[in-house]
Amino acid sequence: MKQKKIANVWAFLILLAGTVFMIAPFLWTLSTSLKEQRNVFEIPPKWIPNPATFANYNEVWEQSPLLNGFLNSLIIVVTVLTIGLFVSAMSSYAFSKFEFPLKGVLFMGLLGTMMIPYSVVMIPQYIGFSRLDWVDTLLPLIVPGLFGNIVVVFFLRQYLAGALPNDLIEAAKIDGCSFPRIFWSIALPVMKPALAAQAALGFMGIWNDFLGPLIYLHTPEKQTIQVLIASMQAMYVSQSNFPLIMAAAVIAMIPVILVFFFCQRYFIESLAISGIKG
Amino acid sequence: MQTKKFSGYRRKELFWLYLFVAPPVLGFLLFGLVPMLFSIYMSFQDWDMLSDPTGVGLSNYSELLKDEKLYKSLYNTVYLMIGIPIGMVISLLLAILMNRPLKGISVMRTIYYLPVISPIIAVSLLWQWILNQDYGLLNNLLWDWFGIRGPNWLGDPDWVKPSLILIGLWGGVGGNMVLYLAGLQSIASSYYEAAEIDGAGAWHKFTKITVPLLSPIHFFVLVMGIIGAFQSFSQIYVLAVDGGPEYSGGTIVYYIFQHAFEYFNMGYASAAAWLLGILIFIVTLIQFKLSNKWVYQD
């Protein structure tokens, strides 16, 4: 018993040291963002900015259309998540609970998509979208997502297989419930926790996406927040204006961290479920 | 009558079923298969997107195989994978430490997970500042605490990749830790009790029960880690501008990106993209084949 207690104390201390290592970079970023530029190069480094100033945030906000960036990111996330998740839920329902000709071939084909890395389709997609004159619009980043996501379909299919009893569907059928109605009022509510988990993961994935937006969006007003922040770095790193860059980094992090704190349960759950199922 | 009514229902059901699975199938054709086939064709063309494409046969491929930067980017990409096993060990150890009734454990878990959800661009900027040679926090602390003069992390070709691995570990261990934690909690305690009766010590329990029973998670983390490493781009774009000093940080996706969207060599970049695609395919296939040998299934 005593031995166990000592082990627990050691575990706690090691974890605490790790926690410091994990959080220190965030605190340092925050601290730097509140300093005046001439105080940044002090040695030894000071953790508490003195004087503290919000001027960097003001300047970053004025220099770059960050509000547009947030809105653009938000538009992409919201449309892709609502429509894409709904569409994924539909097909996962069909794949998990019913038999139909060509089902196996179609599903295997879809699974094959997971093997195609984005970099292989990135160039032909770009050429296609530029033919449609969609470059420098949000469309190339939204439209492909509206067709559902195979990883999500796969995950939801597994979930439904365990969570939705076939008898329930049969009973609804006998009661004269139509196919879309059964999906809407029986299957979809059952899927809710899994959908929430996927929404949490999807939000992070889309919000933090960089390569796609970087390729397609060129006008600053049309760029997503990540692209704006990255271009800001190119502007200020040559002047060594680290407080400004750190302010930009903090601004980019705040929404994700807020969402994370409010939906933490779903994040941890989604990761845990997908990991074990995967 | 009865059978006819059912076949009518079945026909309707089939209509709905195909309608329900249509979007992802259509999406796969439009954004997966067709671009993929087009990309094969592209890889035999010379095209800058301004003039018409001209067929050049295999010359994109032969040029590709002659480019020293391609080998460098391949080497860098594989080098960065060293971080995967290191990360696995650290996250498993963290999960084991966390899998006990400690005060403040949920707060710690949140903090370890914070870097996982943070935007990779912001994270890269933050580390760029911390790893700054003269004024960065890390080198200052190294000097103050240990009297070590820290290297020029992101400016010295020898240190760029270790820096990227360090950042990757900081950003990734939290996620895998959560996976391992879930795995640990699913191991029945009867295994450990039986082992204790047989007189097994902590080390034996760890190597003979914990590690093998977590093998599906090792597998998942490994496969996803390797696929992710093959695709790494964003942190390179920020931290190793132009591939970094002596192209010491350029990864294969960065190489493709440069050729496609900076030099507009669409055909050449397609050939490189294909090379990467085939590589990922082979590596993933090998992993699945090998997995039969070591992944424990119940």
| Architecture label for domain B62-294 | Orthogonal Bundle (1.10)
Asked whether residue A50 falls in the same domain as residue A77, the answer is no
Model confidence at A276: pLDDT above 70:
no
Contacts of B266 in chain A (CB under 8 A): 123, 127
Q: What is the pLDDT of residue A19?
A: 95
Regarding whether A137 and A126 lie in a shared domain, the answer is: yes
Residue type, B277: G
Clarify whether residues A65 and A84 are in a common domain.
yes
Looking at the predicted structure, is the pLDDT value of residue B204 above 80? yes
Average pLDDT over residues B243-250: 93
Position A216 scores a pLDDT of 97
- For all residues of chain B together, what is the average pLDDT? 90
* Structural domain harbouring A38: 2-59
Which of A108-122, A127-141, A240-254, B37-51 has the least mean pLDDT? A108-122
Instruction: Break chain B into its structural domains and give their ranges.
Output: 2-42, 62-294
Q: What residues of chain B lie within 8 A of the CB of A260, using their CB? A: 113-114, 117
Regarding whether A173 and A115 lie in a shared domain, the answer is yes
pLDDT score for A133: 96
Best of B33, B114, B218 to disrupt the A interface by mutation (most A CBs within 10 Å)?
Answer: B114
Among the candidates A59, A82, A103, a domain finishes at: A59
Q: B87 is written with which tokens? A: 């990360």
Looking at the fold, whether A10 and A77 belong to one and the same domain comes out as no
pLDDT tens per residue, range B132-153: 988 899 999 999 899 999 999 9
pLDDT at A187 over 80: yes
ipTM: 0.88
* Residue A99 Cα, gap to closest chain B Cα (Å): 9
Amino acid A161: pLDDT: 87
User: pLDDT, tens digit, for every residue of B167-193?
Assistant: 999 999 999 998 899 889 888 888 998
A-chain residues within 8 Å CB-CB of B256? 119, 122-123
In this predicted structure, what is the pLDDT of residue A277?
A: 41
Regarding whether A203 and A75 lie in a shared domain, the answer is yes
Please list every residue in chain B whose beta carbon sits closer than 8 Å to the beta carbon of residue A93. Answer: 20
pLDDT score at B186 = 85
For residue B291, the distance in angstroms to the closest alpha carbon of chain A comes to 13
pLDDT digits (tens, 9 = 90+) for A57-85: 999 999 889 999 999 999 999 999 999 99
CB contact under 8 A, B114 and A257: yes
Average pLDDT of span A194-219: 92
CATH number at residue A261: 1.10.3720.10
Task: Give the residue-averaged pLDDT of A112-116.
Answer: 78
**In the predicted model, is pLDDT for residue B3 greater than 60?**
no
**Percent of chain B residues topping a pLDDT of 70:** 97
pLDDT band at B280 (very low <50, low <70, confident <90, very high): confident
Is the pLDDT at B2 greater than 50? The verdict is: no
The residue among A225 and A109 whose pLDDT is bigger is A225
Please tell me the total count of domains within chain A. 2
User: In which band, very low, low, confident or very high, does the pLDDT at B234 lie, cut at 50, 70 and 90?
Assistant: very high
Give A-chain residues touching B183 at CB under 8 angstroms. 275-276
Portion 157-196 of B in contact with A at CB < 8 A: 170, 174-175, 178-179, 181-183, 186
- State the pLDDT at residue B6: 58
DSSP A7: H
Q: Please provide the DSSP assignment of chain B as one string.
A: -HHHHHHHHHHHHHHHHHHHHHHHHHHHIIIIIHHHHHHHHHTTEE--SSS--EE-TTHHHHHHHH-HHHHHHHHHHHHHTTHHHHHHHHHHHHHHHHSS--TTHHHHHHHHHHHHHS-HHHHHHHHHHHT-TTT-HHHHHIIIII------TTTSHHHHHHHHHHHHHHHHHHHHHHHHHHHHHTS-HHHHHHHHHTT--HHHHIIIIIHHHTHHHHHHHHHHHHHHHHT--HHHHHHSGGGSGGGSS--HHHHHHIIIIIS--HHHHHHHHHHHHHHHHHHHHHHHHHHHHH----
Q: Which of B129, B170, B186 sits opposite A32 (nearest CB)?
A: B129
pLDDT computed for residue A274 by the predictor: 53
Q: Are residues A50 and A161 in the same domain?
A: no
B38 interfacial to chain A (CB closer than 8 Å): yes
Would you call B182 and A276 a contact, using CB atoms and an 8 Å cutoff?
yes
E-only strand ranges, chain A: none
pLDDT digits (tens, 9 = 90+) for B222-233: 988 998 899 899
Q: Which residue of B lies nearest to A87 if distances are taken between CA atoms?
A: B23
Indicate whether A135 and A42 sit together in one domain: no
* pTM metric for this prediction: 0.90
